[in-house]
Structure 1
Amino acid sequence: MVNAPHVAHPLQTPVKTGETLGRIGSLEVRMARNFYEVKKAQRLRYQVFYQEMSAIADAHTLATRRDADPFDDYCDHLLVVDHASMKRNKLGRLKPEIVGTYRILRQEIADRHSGFYTAGEYDVQSLVDANSGKRFMELGRSCVLKPYRNKKTVELLWHGIWAYVLRHKIDVMLGCASIESTNPDAIAGQLAFLHHNARAPEEWRVRAVEDRYVEMNRMPAEEINAKEALRALPPLVKGYLRLGAFIGDGAVIDHQFGTTDVLIIMPVSELNTRYVNYYGADASRYSSEQPA
């Protein structure tokens, strides 16, 4: 892994509600402006997680057709909107369609509420406590509308995240990433590949909570078809690996969402230099001032 140079956090002001963080053509990445936009992001999450994938909806989720939980009320919501695809809201006004989203929870906000969502699956508090001088941020609920699952949308989402990291002086990103399947044996190659090739070094290692721990070391390294395992991994997980992410110790089965989760840990100091340089040390690559 190539270590990134020290990032001096050149942008000083926190990200504002609704602020634009980048643009490519008709696509804009920005923070949600109000609860109505958060509800639209929740509808997008429902469409992807429950209708397209295999999440199991309870009665309330079915009735509202939104993927929502208490964390949504105090998280920040990063959105990609398409100004070329305008939709009428309940008041009849045309608004750009929300086509991608990420949920962001900073440590100081988590501390004032119920902690990190990820703590239900991994002992992340031990890592936070061991790095008391560092600022942590949780990423979650990532999804993109099917026609927009391309390089441009993903790059905009990551441009927005990078700008957010710089503005809030974040040192470590973490969160769960999902592999579709609740049968670890069916995805043994992927889990073992991550265990042998991306497991976090001891100082960054976090273990799954004991009663949910699923062993990832399901086959010896020499028996893994690395090319096949890498190809099978979800695009989001592969993207994290390219950025220089570490993987936690043990997987967790999430029966509600029909997935097996792995923990992603991304210290900013360990990010791949190539990607830091690509988005810009000041997150200027797709800044709204530049031509699309």
Structure 2
Amino acid sequence: MSRPLGLALGWALDQAVGDPRRWHPVAGFGSAALLLEKRTYAARRAPGVAHVTVLVAGAATLGVVAERATRRRGAAHTLATAAATWAVLGGRSLTREADTIGGQLRRGDLDAARVQVRNLVGRDTSGLDADEVARACIESLAENTSDAVVAPLLWGGLLGVPGLLAYRAVNTLDAMVGHRNERYREFGWAAAKLDDVANWVPARVAGALALVAGGSRDRARAGWEAVRRDAPAHPSPNGGVVEAAFAGVLGVRLGGANVYDGRVEDRGMLGTGSAAGARDIAPASRLARRVAAGSLAVATLLSLGHRRRRARPRHRR
């Protein structure tokens, strides 16, 4: 029971305090990745593959060492799993940012909201109006709830500490180098593709949990219709699923054109409701928290299934 208990404790710690202001382990990993990039970078795919392989394998190896060192000591294994879970989750910090942005928009402080939302999105926010800031915030809530909560918990439930750390390494590298700009189009190809693979199932679990957490059959139906109809137009094979589910359940319209480094990207229209606004941020935050709680339940079931498989007697032939 140490794995599911550790996952639950780590999730609760993240929900209670969020990310540390200083000395965050993921920030330390990012610094190490930047140092390595100085030696591995070239505008080709092969060096990018090597870069990702070294860093993800290193994170996974650290997780394996932690698992083996604590596996036979229940309390130590619980604490190691809890620490790793807390380190890789970002749910509380995500909703805290969203709540701050919602408050700024309600007060009419658009300039502050444009700056604040940069903590969540990579698009150019300087010319966004209030509704566009709210849309950016809600889209990030949806996608990052999947990336920063659902996916790490599912990988942790399935593979324990190695799964937690390796997944966070993959997702962090995608955020660092998985861009389509001139510098990273080739070097970051492996990070972007690996992140797509690692998030394919979690994104669909997150979308399903959003439908379940919507609160009514009509909302679930609207969310499913949005996923089925609108998600394929989104450039991300995973982000579109979660964002469409949130749009349908919340009864708002997301998607549209975004500007990244001077490049316009059309993400299609998600949902058929009215344009998302400041009033929709609080319901989106509540939905994100319910999805996060649901993902903990799914991860617990995965970890219990793993425990039963390990305990199953092996018959000699």
Q: Normalising by structure 2, report the TM-score.
A: 0.30
Higher helix share: 2
| Higher alpha-carbon Rg | 2
**When the two structures are superposed, what TM-score results if normalisation uses the length of structure 1?**
0.32
